[in-house]
Amino acid sequence: MEWWQNFLPLNYERVGVWASVICTFAIYSILYRENPFYRFFEHLFIGLGAGYSLGPVLTEALYRCWYLPLWKEGYWAWAPVVPFGLYLYFIYSERYGWMSRLVIGLLIGANAGLFFQEFASRQLPQLNSTLSKPLWITSENFDITDGQVLKWVPLVLNNWIFIIFLLAVLTYFTFSFEHRGPVKRVATVGRWFLMIGLGAMFGNTVMARMALLIGRIHYLLSNWLGIPVGGG
Amino acid sequence: MWQIEVGTTTGKVYVTLIVLAFLALFLGFIPVMQALPPRGRRALIALITFFAGLVFAAEFFLPVDKKGENWLSPAIDPAQNTLQIIGAMALALGTYGLIRLHLRNIVQQRSQWGYSVVLIVAFLTMGFFSVWKTLAEKGELRQTEFLQKGFTLLFDNMLVPLEATMFSLIAFYIFSAAYRAFRIRSIEASILMFTAMMVMIGIVSLGNIISYSWLGLPIEQTAEMEQNPFSLRNIGYNLALPRIAYWILQALNAPVQRAIEFGVGIAGLAMAIRLWLSLERGIT
Amino acid sequence: MMEQQTIWHRLLMIDRRILYLILFVNIIIFLLIPVKVPTVTSPPVRKFYDTIEQLQPGDIVMVSSNWSAGTIGENRPQLEAVIRHLMRKKVRFTVISFDPQARDISFRFISRVTQEGGYQYGKDWAHFGFLPALVAGIKGMVKDIPATIKQDIKGTPIAQLPVMQGVKTLADYKMVIDITPAGTVAAWIAYRPKDLIVLFCPTSVMAAEAYTFLDSGQVAGMLTGAIGAQEYEQLLQQEGLGTPFAKAISFSHALIILFIILGNIALFMSRRAQGG
Amino acid sequence: MSYQHAADNWFSAIIIALIATAVLLNIARAKAGAQLYIRRIPGLDAIDEAIGRSTEMGRPVTMIPGLTAFGVVAVQSLTIFKYITKQIAKFVTPMRLLTADATVYAVAQEAIQDAYNEAGRPDLYDPDNVRFLSDRQFAFASGVAGLLQRERVAASFMFGEFFAESLIFAETGNIVGAIQIAGTISFTQVPFFVVACDYTIIGDEFYATSAYLSREPVLLGSLVGQDIAKLLFILIIIVGVIAATTLGKDDEFIKLLGMPGGWDAFWKAIFGGS
């Protein structure tokens, strides 16, 4: 078979790859200029996304959590949940719009009630792990029977840095009293430490975005043009 | 008592009648609730919000028996199932709003309504295939080759590449912003930029090439180096770019993230309390 | 003085499309050049690998795959490497998604990888499909999985799945591996049973924030984006998507750093030229 | 390592109760008319300076709430934009408020009109200055970038929730030479704003800015309550670390402060109970 017979969209699998490539270049066309080609595929994208969500969101979730218990297992008590949920769809009407807030209120209230466990389970273990950072080499915390004190020094130094950074940034985020004198200096240094944390986030965010672009270019090279780039 | 026999078709009709009865009931509530004065409406919303929260909050705070349960624990499962149903309907609300907006664009022939037609056609086609596929998976409808090929073309070869490409645009914007917008204009910006560059070099193999291939710094930390941390070899080990990047992330960045976590957690708790008791003026 | 100022000024006012082209070409070059790039395993990846190594055949693990097509470049290499490692350890696993699109994407990629490894759906692994409410879903599974999930993605009741024999609640699981672009790991950390280990595969955007959880031990190990997947593949001695990506990421970082420095020099020179 | 119930360590219930009391008490005080103090954060001085410099140039000022859907954050962004509009009304500087959410657009119209009335210049209010560009991320971003360049904007204020498109605003603003002030609770975008804008208001500072400007009782009370909670955390950290260094980090007292199971371990150590 000539190479072009494999390349051009002649069988179902190649039609799929070409469709994917056309979509890719349509979206990249906005890099040159906003154009009708881009706008067509953008609306296509939003329509496909909305249409797709009907499957898992409406069909699977409601099938599993409402249709099954009712029509397959007979727990009639589930009957009122969807009728009550339908109030959500009054959100756009002038007169009855407020009723949608009954259902939204249920969601907000439930998530608020659940948050207490999240606060305890997420913040307190972090608080506790902060406390187990000893700031001095003592026998209670370190095995110094063999007189080797030097090897614990890096750990203790890191503990000092940890506590100083933590308290400085926490001080920076306080607002109900004037920052004057020593507190102002601690808060200013706290903002500089904050910049180190933001720098780490910056470096990682750049890496994330690059990987997404590389993923697309990898698809174009290996799946479309068939160039062996490795990684299957 | 809570369960009725649905094996036979009469059972299924019975259930359908119950659902329709509740539907009629909730429709009947509408004029009743509409008669409520604004204060009454706010009170009704606040009541529903409070009780929805109370179920979970009380279950968390009440003491528990040996098995780790209290008298409210059995209520968790039906409550979470209700949240799944209402959550699914709330997710579908976004789709409802979007389709309503674009249908209005078409009906009122607003500018660029041609694109709204594209959106609606895409929505209906993909919706048809997606619902059919989900029901076919559950065994309610037949799985056919047309469904298989149609869904794969629309999902794997159009929706996935479109979304992946849309997200990858940001790499271009970051690159041009890096050249034109990221300025060392203050102490803060220079601290941030210097840390970012150290991390960017250290966490990718660029750092390995520079510090291990070219500079030949020790890759592994032997037990002997751990014993005396200030030995030349151990300092060399820690000066490798990947080690510096990891130290920045683990020793300097972790406490900053923890301080942010405490701030976010406390703000979240304050927000949860305000929303639970409907104190928030702006939106309720 | 005038033309020097125009050079720097013109350098600053480069058309952005040229910058986009430079990045595009840079990535293509470094995807194609077979440069052998040495990698050293960073501690979070080492901890991730060691935690899964401790698993015994027959243990059961929950894979929470919440990523959709938008972050396929980072999360797909992670998912495939993790599934290959679980198969190598003969460990049973079940998959759940709290994002609608993640449901279909994870089912398709895992089915492909499990066919390679000879894993059978239903006997060795199962997919629970999509659940809209994340926190409520986890709390439900902590108490009773068949009651919360009811059916798997193919419509078979949970209790009848061979993979779920002897498994009733989330406490029977050894660990949960969260592969996600969003903040779902905080929910796993907060609502999981007491001693369920949490492993985290974020997109790199979320990685810096997670170092506080690594420090406190709430997260046992982490793969940071495609680079984390590549280091993990090195440990597994099985090359996947991570390796070609890592090479291209390295040199795109070099390019970005170069352009940040160049941009600042151009600004400094053009401002000095105007001021001078 | 996680809490299924508060009973896993009653210390958690005590901490949550303390914070809840601090928040609710201060909200009640604020509602009863007490003047709660919130310090003026440096970000507000940066806003005033940007307003001053933009009036000299006589070119328009833009306000961008980003993609924020209508809710708590959007309401607070509009509070900050009202303040800015009142300040620039004195110098008759033209303004543009660009939104991506239909509800935010409607509420913004009212807010800007109120701002001009409160500044005593109802004649300056022009409904066209508040615009709904598009509800899609990149369409909105390119719309904003186009306007920034066409009108060679003097200053650009970005407050609310932002995602990746914030790069386009910041870069275009830089090319046009606009003074840019940003404020957001989306931490993933803060690094880009810090290096691209003249000043960035970070995380909780965003809430402090809107509370300071609006003097709204619930916001003020909640913020003061949160401050008390942060000081409580700082106190526990200092006491805890000193205890860990002296008593040893595996001591029961350390476990009491937050570790699930710590409560029973502590009582057993004290009373040598069952």
- Could you give the CA distance from residue C83 to residue C52 in angstroms, rounded to a whole number? 11
What residues of chain D lie within 8 A of the CB of C210, using their CB?
Answer: none
Torsion sign (Cα): C71, C74, C80, C83: negative
Residue B9: band (very low, low, confident or very high) from pLDDT cuts 50, 70, 90: confident
Write the DSSP symbol of residue B118: H
Average pLDDT, chain C: 90
A131 at interface of C, judged by CB pairs closer than 8 A:
no
DSSP, residue by residue, D166-188: HHHHHHHHHHHT-EEEEEES-TT
Domain boundaries, chain D: 11-37+220-271, 42-215
Give the domain-ending residue among B38, B61, B84. B61
Interface touch B62/D192, C-beta < 8 Å: no
Mean pLDDT value across residues C83-93: 95
Residue A167 vs residue D103, higher pLDDT:
A167
Please report the pLDDT score of residue C3 as a whole number: 56
SS3 B71: coil
Residue A232: band (very low, low, confident or very high) from pLDDT cuts 50, 70, 90: very low
Out of C12, C100, C224, the one facing B203 most closely (by C-beta) is: C224
In a domain, B266, yes or no: yes
Please report the pLDDT score of residue B284 as a whole number: 38
What residues of chain B lie within 8 A of the CB of C254, using their CB?
Answer: 206
Please report the pLDDT score of residue A149 as a whole number: 80
- Could you give the CA distance from residue A92 to residue D100 in angstroms, rounded to a whole number? 18
Please report the pLDDT score of residue C182 as a whole number: 85
Residue C128 reports pLDDT greater than 90? yes
Mean pLDDT value across residues D146-159: 90
In chain B, positions 188-247, which contact chain D (CB-CB < 8 Å)? 188-189, 192-193, 196
Please report the pLDDT score of residue D71 as a whole number: 78
SS3 D48: helix
In chain A, positions 139-198, which contact chain D (CB-CB < 8 Å)? 140-141, 163, 166-167, 170-171, 173-179, 194-195, 198
Please report the pLDDT score of residue A103 as a whole number: 93
* Residue A187, number of CB atoms within 10 A of its CB: 18
Helices H / strands E in chain C, number of each: 11, 6
DSSP, residue by residue, C78-90: HHHHHHHHHHHTT
- Could you give the CA distance from residue B178 to residue A206 in angstroms, rounded to a whole number? 10
* Residue C12, number of CB atoms within 10 A of its CB: 17
Please give, rounded to a whole number of angstroms, the shortest distance from the CA of C6 to a CA of chain D. Answer: 16
Residue located via tokens 């933009």: D54
Mean pLDDT value across residues B123-128: 95
Q: How far is CA D68 from CA C113, D82, D135, in A?
A: 39, 17, 10
pLDDT tens-digit readout, C240-264: 778 788 888 988 999 999 998 888 8
In chain C, positions 52-91, which contact chain A (CB-CB < 8 Å)? 70-74, 76-77
Interface touch C259/B246, C-beta < 8 Å: no
Residue B214 vs residue B117, higher pLDDT:
B117
Residue A122 reports pLDDT greater than 70? yes
Residue B246: band (very low, low, confident or very high) from pLDDT cuts 50, 70, 90: very high
Interface touch C39/B155, C-beta < 8 Å: no
Measured in whole angstroms, how far is the alpha carbon of residue A193 from the centre of its chain?
24
Beta bridge partners of D158: D64, D182
Measured in whole angstroms, how far is the alpha carbon of residue D253 from the centre of its chain?
36
Residue A145 reports pLDDT greater than 60? yes
Percent of chain B scoring above 90 in pLDDT: 52
Residue D235: band (very low, low, confident or very high) from pLDDT cuts 50, 70, 90: very high
Please report the pLDDT score of residue D72 as a whole number: 79
Torsion of CA B251, B257, B259, B263, to 10 degrees: 180
What residues of chain B lie within 8 A of the CB of C23, using their CB?
Answer: 171-172, 175
Interface touch C253/A207, C-beta < 8 Å: yes
Please report the pLDDT score of residue C2 as a whole number: 54
- Cβ contacts below 8 Å, chain A against chain D, sum to 143
- Could you give the CA distance from residue D189 to residue B174 in angstroms, rounded to a whole number? 12
Tokens for A71, please give them: 């029509």
Beta bridge partners of C127: C95
Residue B88 contacts residue A62 (beta carbons within 8 Å): yes
What residues of chain D lie within 8 A of the CB of B62, using their CB?
Answer: 5
- Could you give the CA distance from residue C167 to residue D211 in angstroms, rounded to a whole number? 51
Specify the CATH class of C43-240 in words. Answer: alpha beta
Q: Which residue of A has its CA nearest to B255?
A: A166
Interface touch B155/C104, C-beta < 8 Å: yes
Percent of chain C scoring above 90 in pLDDT: 67
- Could you give the CA distance from residue C66 to residue C75 in angstroms, rounded to a whole number? 9
Residue C17: band (very low, low, confident or very high) from pLDDT cuts 50, 70, 90: confident
Please give, rounded to a whole number of angstroms, the shortest distance from the CA of C72 to a CA of chain B. Answer: 7
Out of C19, C131, C151, the one facing B84 most closely (by C-beta) is: C131
C234 at interface of A, judged by CB pairs closer than 8 A:
no
Residue B283 reports pLDDT greater than 70? no
Q: Structural domain of residue A47, as residue ranges?
A: 1-79
Residue B255 reports pLDDT greater than 90? yes
In a domain, A30, yes or no: yes
Write the DSSP symbol of residue C266: H
Residue B281 reports pLDDT greater than 70? no
In chain D, which ranges are continuous DSSP H helix?
10-31, 42-57, 72-90, 102-118, 137-150, 166-176, 190-196, 204-214, 217-247, 252-256, 262-271
Residue B250, phi then psi, degrees to nearest 5: -90, -35
- Could you give the CA distance from residue B101 to residue B231 in angstroms, rounded to a whole number? 69
A204 at interface of C, judged by CB pairs closer than 8 A:
yes
- Could you give the CA distance from residue C221 to residue C201 in angstroms, rounded to a whole number? 9
Q: How far is CA D254 from CA A118, D243, D249, in A?
A: 21, 7, 7
Residue located via tokens 């910041």: D170
pLDDT tens-digit readout, C186-204: 999 999 998 899 999 999 9
- Cβ contacts below 8 Å, chain B against chain C, sum to 163
Residue B215 vs residue D138, higher pLDDT:
B215
Give the domain-ending residue among B22, B41, B61. B61
Same domain, A33 and A44: yes
Report the residue of A127, A210, A217 to disrupt the C interface, i.e. the one with the largest count of C CBs within 10 Å.
A210
* Residue B66, number of CB atoms within 10 A of its CB: 5
C100 at interface of A, judged by CB pairs closer than 8 A:
yes
Q: Which residue of A has its CA nearest to D262?
A: A128
Q: How far apart are the first and last CA of chain A?
A: 23
What residues of chain D lie within 8 A of the CB of C193, using their CB?
Answer: 2, 4
Write the DSSP symbol of residue D157: E
Write the DSSP symbol of residue B7: S
Out of D2, D8, D187, the one facing C190 most closely (by C-beta) is: D2
Any idea what the Cα angle at residue B70 is, between residues B65 and B75, rounded to 5°?
A: 150
pLDDT tens-digit readout, B86-119: 999 998 888 888 899 899 999 999 888 999 999 9
Interface touch B121/A148, C-beta < 8 Å: no
Q: Structural domain of residue B15, as residue ranges?
A: 8-61
pLDDT tens-digit readout, C156-165: 999 999 999 9
Structural domains of chain A, count: 2
Tokens for A49, please give them: 């996304």
Structural domains of chain B, count: 2
Mean pLDDT value across residues D117-136: 86
SS3 B227: helix
In a domain, B282, yes or no: no
- Cβ contacts below 8 Å, chain B against chain D, sum to 109
Q: How far is CA B31 from CA A13, A96, B26, B28, in A?
A: 57, 10, 10, 7
In a domain, B148, yes or no: no
Residue C59 contacts residue C174 (beta carbons within 8 Å): yes
Residue C275: band (very low, low, confident or very high) from pLDDT cuts 50, 70, 90: low
Residue B247 reports pLDDT greater than 50? yes
Q: How far is CA B266 from CA A170, B273, D71, in A?
A: 12, 11, 19
SS3 D253: helix
Residue B95 contacts residue A54 (beta carbons within 8 Å): yes
Architecture of domain D42-215: 3-Layer(aba) Sandwich (3.40)
Tokens for B165, please give them: 């490409």
C226 at interface of A, judged by CB pairs closer than 8 A:
yes
Strands (E), chain B: none
Please report the pLDDT score of residue C5 as a whole number: 58
Beta bridge partners of C137: none
Mean pLDDT lowest for which of B38-42, C272-276, D65-69, D145-149? C272-276
What residues of chain B lie within 8 A of the CB of D204, using their CB?
Answer: 263, 267
Write the DSSP symbol of residue A90: G
Residue B45: band (very low, low, confident or very high) from pLDDT cuts 50, 70, 90: very high
Residue D259 contacts residue A125 (beta carbons within 8 Å): yes
Mean pLDDT lowest for which of A64-78, B206-220, B257-271, C174-188? B206-220
Q: Could you tell me how many residues make up chain A?
A: 232
Mean pLDDT lowest for which of A111-125, A134-148, B12-26, C214-228? A134-148
What residues of chain B lie within 8 A of the CB of C69, using their CB?
Answer: 159-164, 167
What residues of chain A lie within 8 A of the CB of D139, using their CB?
Answer: 34, 42
- Could you give the CA distance from residue A61 to residue A12 in angstroms, rounded to a whole number? 32
Interface touch A176/D224, C-beta < 8 Å: yes
Same domain, A31 and A7: yes
* Residue B128, number of CB atoms within 10 A of its CB: 17
Percent of chain D scoring above 70 in pLDDT: 99
Residue located via tokens 């683990």: B250
Same domain, A17 and A51: yes
Q: Which residue of A has its CA nearest to D143?
A: A34
Amino acid at A114: L
